[in-house]
Structure formats: C-alpha cells, structure tokens
Structure 1
Amino acid sequence: MIALTIAQLAHAIAGETRLTAGDTPETVVSGLVDTDSRHIGPGDVFVAKPGDVTDGHLFVEAAASAGAALAIVERPVEADVTQIVVPDAVAALADLAREVVKRARDAAAQRGDTLEVVGITGSNGKTTTKNLLARILEGEGETIAPKASFNNEVGAPLTMLRVTERTRFLVSEFGASAPGEIARLAGLVEPDVGVVLMVGMAHAGGFGGIEATFHAKSELVRAIRSGGLAILNADDARVAAMAPIAAEQSAGVRWFGRGPAATDVRADDVVVTASGTSFVVTADGESLPVRLRVLGEHHVMNALAAIASATALGVSPADAVARLETVEIAERWRMQPLGSDRVRIINDAYNASPDSMSAALRTLAQITGPGERTVAVLGAMSELGEYAEEEHDRVGLLAVRLGIQRIVVIGSDARRMYLEAVAQGSWDNEAVFFETADEAFHYLRGELRDGDRVLVKSSNSAGLRFLGDRLGESFS
C-alpha cells in the first residue's frame, strides 16, 4: 500500500481513531492490508471482517502480536494496536482501496507517468486472462494482479490496496453473482481498459437469466473512464452488443476473436495437442506464430484478450507473444496437468459452468490420441438456479456425443449428468455414479490404466479439485 498517515486513513474510511501509546495521527502506515491475521506481518493493516464462520475481531490480538501497525474494526477490541472503528469493515475496505488507487494515480501523474488500470470480467476465463495479461505486463514495469480468484467485494479491494508509488499496471478481476456488484467494484477504480470475455450461463441463477447476465457484465463497460478503451469479444453477440455502451462512455473499442469481425486481434490456424495449443495471431496487421502451453482450445480467446489489452497499452505484439509462451498453466486447478505420461490427469475442478464444462470436455476429446482412453470425472455446476437440471442434462448428452469412454459422475447435485449419459446410450458401465469423492477415488484407482487421459471437472463447491490432486499423486 502507498504510505498514508493514520489521520489520512481514518479520513478515507470515515472512521474513529483509537491510538495506542507511541502512535499519533501523523504516524505513517505503508504495509500490506489483509483480512486474514495469519498473513499479517510488521507494519501491516488488519481488517477485522465479520464472516459466516468466524469473526475477524477474534483475531485482532493475534494480528497485533504479529506486528500489525493498525486494525480496522467495527467495534473496539482489547489489543495493543491502534484501531480505526467503522460501521462496516467491508465498506471501509472499498473506501480505502478507492483512496489508495486515486493517490497512486495522482502520484504517477505528478511524475509525468501513468498508472494504467485494467478491469476484466466475463462468465468464464477471467482468472486465466488476468494471469496471461499480468505475465505480459510484468515485463514493462511493476504490475499488481489478483492472487488466485480475488474478484469479489473483499478480494478485489485487497488487490487494489497492493499498489505502490512504483506501480505501472493494476489488473483487476471482477466477478459477480448478482446485479450491481461489478458496478460497485469497477467504480472504485474507473478502469482505463475494460475487458469483457463472454456472456454465458455461469451464475445465471443468481442473475436471473442470460439477459440479466449481459446487463451485469456490461457494468464494467459503463465504468470505463472517459477516453478509455473496451476490449470486446467479437465472436460473442452479447459482448459485441456492448459497443454502443462504450460509445456512451466516450470509450473506444478494440475487437478480439477468431471470426472476421475481430478486426484488431484475431487467431487463425488453431491446432490443439496434449502439450498445448498453437495458432497464428494477427495483431494490428502483424502476424505471429504462438505456442500456448496452457491446455485447451478455449484458452485461445483468453490469450487474444490479453494480447489485445497489452498491445493497447503499448506492448509490442512480439513481446506479448514471447511472454505468453512462458506461461505453463493458467492457475492451480485450472486445466492443470498432473499424473504422468502413463496416466495423464487434467485437474480443472476449481470452477465450472455449462460453457467451461463443454470446453473442457471438448479439450479432453481433442488431446486423446489413438490407443488412448478418455475418462471424464464430473461434479456439479453451481449457481445455475432454475437452469440446473437442463444444463446438467446437456453435459451428460455432450459427453456421450463426444465419445467419452468412461463417465464418472460424483455427488447427488450432479446425478442428472449420469442419468442423461445412460439415457443416451452409456449403459454398459461406460457411465458410473458415486455419492462421494472417496468412493470415486477407490473406483478410479482400480479402473485407470496406461494411456488414459482423465479430466476432473466441477464447480469449486463440489470439492473435486482435491480428488484431482489425489489422482495426480497416485499416478505420478
């Protein structure tokens, strides 16, 4: 975090200061900000956020013992640390993030420099695109990007608060499960560049349908500052329909995709293998070969979005491609290769939606060669609401139509996949169902054989990412 006095901090979050001995309103604080006391070190700021499971106020003393310079609390706590008392710790976190980014921008402007803020949203691909773009931008200067999927009302501000006076790029990932959330988060920083990847069925239950999802994702475009730039997926009709919104914001549009409408950054000659995906990218008229090591054809679009953003920010296409090619995996539990050449496990069970489930199954079919066997280990897709049954049926149907040779479905919420697979012809033990991951693990330990290519895919709540880790270790 940029350096602020306690008085400046308290003013930014409209809090009441309770000083400990040795501190004054002019005491400077510049450490990291976190809501987890286990991550607090000397000089850091601890935010005591009440939670569903526990209450951060119970850990203020632990943060003080770890050397915290300050605690932001909703009620005073008996602990040897200066505290700023606020009505709502999460709201204070947002207010502080807004202030810190504004000051960092002002400081950069005074130096004749800029702090460029990029916001990324979409039903799928946010975290991968964020990681790819951050890898490219790191070669240009200090770049701050979220850890893992820090994209909600707590994670996004925590990322923003990591900016310093030296930061050149802030890459923010914006997720949402209800209307208005992206508007609130993006409104904290008013991005210079807003990237919209796709509008799909992820979280459709929370939004109330695909059109409501469109309006929620378009909130990022509405938040772009005047004179900024929207990076839009030309292949997605709903994303393309956001161009007039960008015009309303006096923002330009830069198009990426694989079709003819992708006039700025386009991919051709896509070839998918078990070791990655190759394609030719044309960026602003310059064509270059790309060898992306991240598994899955669907990640081509994420790479194009990253290239479109980076080149808009002044990175040459050649440098963008060279840095992209150093990325080995998108993120842990996202198309992560495990196991061995004998039995390859692809652990993609951090998140799942109908679109990402379809993409992962197609990738499994594409990368499995002659004499090898496809095995799909599938769990539930969450947050689909009234669409859950229909969408789980579609996955079961797709798995059969792709010729997946073993379909292993886990958990009662995913059972529709199994039933549909059986109904579509997988009745000779090609499809099996287990209530628990432990039962499935013991089955797979005896079932998997040399030449198997195994996809483990589910939403985070299903917990199958840990099953994927166990399988990877067992067949390493």
Structure 2
Amino acid sequence: MIPVSCGEIADAVRGELVGVEPTGVVDGAVVIDSRDAGPGGLFVALPGERVDGHDFVGTATSAGVTASLTTRPVDGSPCIVVDDPQRALGELARLVVGRLPDLVVIGLTGSTGKTSTKDLIGRLISPYGETVVPEGSFNNEIGHPLTALQATGSTKYLVAEMGARHRGDITYLTGITPPTVGLVLNVGTSHIGEFGSQDNIAVAKGEMIEAVAAGGTAVLNADDHRVAAMRSRTEQQVLTFGEAPEADVRATDVKVDGEGRPAFTLHLGGYSGTVQLRLIGEHFVSNALAAAAVAAAVGLTPEQIADGLNAATLMSAARMELTERADGVTVINDAFNANPDSTRAALKSLVAIGRSRGARTWAVLGEMLELGDTSADEHDAIGRLAVRLDVNRLVVVGAGAKPMHLGASLEGSWGNESTYVETIGEALELLRAELRAGDVVLVKSSKAAKLRSLADALVEAQQ
C-alpha cells in the first residue's frame, strides 16, 4: 500500500499509539495472518472462533511489522490500540483509497457469478493499466478492505467484489471504496434465508448503484427485471448488458460447443464481432457481457474487449474447472459455492458435455446453504431437474442435501440413478469403485459443505 505514518493511521482509526512513534511508517503489506507479516507492514489482530489474533502479535513483531492493530497493549510490541480492529481495518482502507484520487474503483455485486465476473473484468482491463483484482472471493468486511489496501500510487484500477447478507452491507463496503463503476449482475435466491425474499435482496444489491460516484457509471443487467429497475436509484450514466434487444452491450446467436464452451456475437455501439469463450457453461455469457460493459465504461474499445474475452481464463479455482484424468475420467470442479441458479447452470453444462462426447454423466451434489424456509423445496427441485436433464448418475452428499435425492426419486429416478450418502468419504468410495473411462463428473456444493475436498481427491486420484 502507499506509505502512511502511524500517527495518520491512529487519527483515522481513532487509535492510541503504544510503543510506536507517530512518525513510524507503514509501507508494507497489511495482513491478518501473522505468517504473512513482513518488514514495514501492519498486522491486524482479529478475534476468531478458535484463535485470537492477539496471541500472534509477538510473531508479527518479530517478522518486522511497523505496528499491530490491537484492542489492548501487547508487551514488547508496537501497537495501535483501537476498540474494534475490524472496523479500524475498514477505516484505514478508506484513508488509503482517499489518497488515490485517480484510482478507478470497479465495484460489483450479485447473487451469482460475482467472482467469475471479477476475474473476467481483471483479464480485460489489466493489460491497460496496473490492476488490483484479488484471487478468490474477498468480498466481505475483512477481505474487501484488505483488497483495497493492495492499491498503490501506480494502481489504475481496483476491482472490488462485494457480497451482502444484510441490508447495509454493501453501503458499508462502498463507503470504503466509492465505486467509479458499479455493477449489479443479478438478483437470485442466494442468502434468501437471511433476506426473506428476492425483492429484499434487490434492495440490498441496489445499494451498489446508489453509491456510484458523481460522473461514474452504473452497469445493470437488462435481462433481470429487478436489476433493470435499479436505474431509478441513480442519477449517473447507466449502461446495460444482456440478450434483451434494448441492452447496450448485447449477445446474439449464442451457441455452446461440444465442450460446453459458449460462443456469441457481441454487439457494442456499432460494433459486431464473434466471441468464443474458453469457459465452460452457457451462464458465462451473461458474466462476459457484464465484464464487457464494465470495460466499455472505463474506455476500452469494442475490439479490445472482444479480443480480451476470446483469450480470457478464470483466475479463481473450483469454478467449472475441468480436469482430464489420465484414466479418461473428466472432473468438473464447481465446488467453490452453490445456490439454485448456479447449480441449474452447472447441471445443464454437464449434460451438454456428456451429450457431445457420448459419455456417462455424474452429478455429485452437496447442500446449498442459506436458503431458509425454501431449502427443502429448492433441493427437491434440483433433484427433479437432474432426472429431467437425464443425468446418468446423481450422488447426493449430506443430510442437508437429501431432499435432492427424494426429489429425483419422486420424479422417476429408478435403480441406482440417484444415490444418497451421508459423508464425503462414502461418496469418494462409491466414485472410486464405479467411475470408468469416459465418464464426466460434476462436483458442486456450497463452500461449507466442503465437497471441494472431494473434487480435489478425484483429480489427484489419477494425476
């Protein structure tokens, strides 16, 4: 990050300097893991469920940090003592971003596709200026300011993914990094257990549009009526994307090849050109259009955007990540996270790939979390969809996902087309025993269901 004195930090976070001079300078990395601490950095001692960051302040000091953000003095260590280190982390990030007036902040949110779209945006714009775009999903009140603090005086673009579990979450995050470009991808059912309805989710996601800075651009999905209606929540320029005829950035002639990779004609202004994505799944068309609209908003030409989309790959793992094993089994790891919309899209991609290869298809599915009272119905619907799509084998893992198996059975699954197992270990044992050359296996669940470990084990089995 840009150099900031300890005195300036203390003023910004309302902290007290203990064992450190106001003239001390933080010009290294800001970290929450003492193993990542280094000279000139700042360690943020966050309380955790199992460990307390204060127990590692000494380790960070030994690693050479200028100071640690703490709630109490720690003997032998330079500290900036605050009431709440997490809040102070956000206030520090706001201070740093405020000192970078030429920084273009691209904020994005949505119920599905945030991280994949963030990756695509990074791929498109990074050739045209130094870009901060985190790998993975650093989209909460901790990860977001840590991402912002990676910006330096030479950074041109900051791409900031923002999630929400409650109203006001995005307002808080955009307060740290006011967006020059604000993007809302969609309003789905993710976290509906917290919000209660899609309309309430739309209210929360629309906070991104309300936060777009003067002279900035709001980017909205023309194919999602709840997102399109957010136009009324800003006085800034609006750019729309989608397959709808009225979209400013539009796709027509969408086709999916035998490997599940979509192609389409991109329309932008007076330009029309072919885009062949390297990504698996028709749902990536919407993400690509969103990224294209953001790139147009920051000044890229249509030709640069089309070229970038044709070359783009994702940076973040476990998102429709395809691996061909040496024994002929194909594993599609989409187990980073899951909700009903993304699971439906993944199943359709699995079937398209299997059909093109004449291969058996396996869907190994775990629980989709945070669906509230709709959970049983949503899981049941996914099981029924797997049968309608003619997935050859459905393996449902864990008690929370069991309604998928019941739904598949009620839809007409017969024999062992659908199998329920309680544990990841049982699922792995079944797959190791029954997979054969040519099979295509999709693994998908919410992060907390931990099926990513199953996907990793399947990939490692024949490397």
TM range (shorter): over 0.9
**Matching of residue 288 in structure 1 with residue 273 in structure 2:** yes
Deviation (angstroms), 1:330: 5.3
1:194–1:224 CA contact under 8 A, matched in 2: yes
1:339–1:345 CA contact under 8 A, matched in 2: yes
Between the aligned partners of 1:34 and 1:320, the Cα distance in structure 2 is: 34
Deviation (angstroms), 1:448: 1.1
Counterpart for residue 71 of structure 1: 68
5+ residue gaps, structure 2, are none
Amino acid at match of 1:222: E
Between the aligned partners of 2:89 and 2:210, the Cα distance in structure 1 is: 23
**Matching of residue 40 in structure 1 with residue 37 in structure 2:** yes
Between the aligned partners of 1:166 and 1:287, the Cα distance in structure 2 is: 34
2:123–2:313 CA contact under 8 A, matched in 1: no
1:219-368 alignment runs, 5 A limit? 219-246=207-234, 250-262=235-247, 264-273=248-257, 274=259, 276-329=261-314, 331-340=316-325, 342-368=328-354
Between the aligned partners of 2:417 and 2:462, the Cα distance in structure 1 is: 21
**Matching of residue 57 in structure 1 with residue 54 in structure 2:** yes
Between the aligned partners of 2:350 and 2:315, the Cα distance in structure 1 is: 17
Deviation (angstroms), 1:179: 1.4
Q: Deviations over 1:27-69 (max 9, x none)?
A: 2221111111111111111000111221110110111111111
Which of 210, 217, 240 does residue 205 from structure 2 map onto?
Answer: 217
Once superposed, which parts of structure 1, at least 4 consecutive aligned residues long, lie more than 4 Å away? none
Between the aligned partners of 1:321 and 1:62, the Cα distance in structure 2 is: 48
Q: Deviations over 1:121-179 (max 9, x none)?
A: 00001101111101111111111122310000000010011111111111110001111
Between the aligned partners of 2:279 and 2:63, the Cα distance in structure 1 is: 39
Amino acid at match of 2:279: V
Amino acid at match of 1:271: K
**Matching of residue 377 in structure 1 with residue 364 in structure 2:** yes
Q: Deviations over 1:91-110 (max 9, x none)?
A: 001111111000111xxxxx
Between the aligned partners of 2:370 and 2:315, the Cα distance in structure 1 is: 23
Amino acid at match of 1:85: V
1:294–1:330 CA contact under 8 A, matched in 2: no
Counterpart for residue 96 of structure 1: 92
1:278–1:292 CA contact under 8 A, matched in 2: yes
1:310–1:320 CA contact under 8 A, matched in 2: yes
Counterpart for residue 25 of structure 2: 28
Aligned length: 460
Secondary structure of 2:351's partner? Answer: helix
- The normalised TM-score by structure 1 is 0.94
Secondary structure of 2:251's partner? Answer: strand
Counterpart for residue 183 of structure 1: 171
Identical aligned pairs, as a percentage?
Answer: 48
Amino acid at match of 2:348: R
Amino acid at match of 1:424: E
Counterpart for residue 454 of structure 2: 467
5+ residue gaps, structure 1, are 106-113
Counterpart for residue 133 of structure 2: 145
Between the aligned partners of 2:316 and 2:261, the Cα distance in structure 1 is: 15
Secondary structure of 2:311's partner? Answer: coil
Between the aligned partners of 2:107 and 2:289, the Cα distance in structure 1 is: 15
- The normalised TM-score by structure 2 is 0.97
**Matching of residue 193 in structure 1 with residue 190 in structure 2:** no
Deviation (angstroms), 1:70: 1.3
Amino acid at match of 1:158: L
Between the aligned partners of 2:353 and 2:265, the Cα distance in structure 1 is: 19
CA RMSD, 1 decimal: 1.3
2:120–2:314 CA contact under 8 A, matched in 1: no
Between the aligned partners of 2:428 and 2:324, the Cα distance in structure 1 is: 14
Between the aligned partners of 1:130 and 1:360, the Cα distance in structure 2 is: 19
Which stretch of the first structure deviates more once superposed, 359-368 or 268-277?
268-277
1:353–1:459 CA contact under 8 A, matched in 2: yes
Amino acid at match of 2:146: L
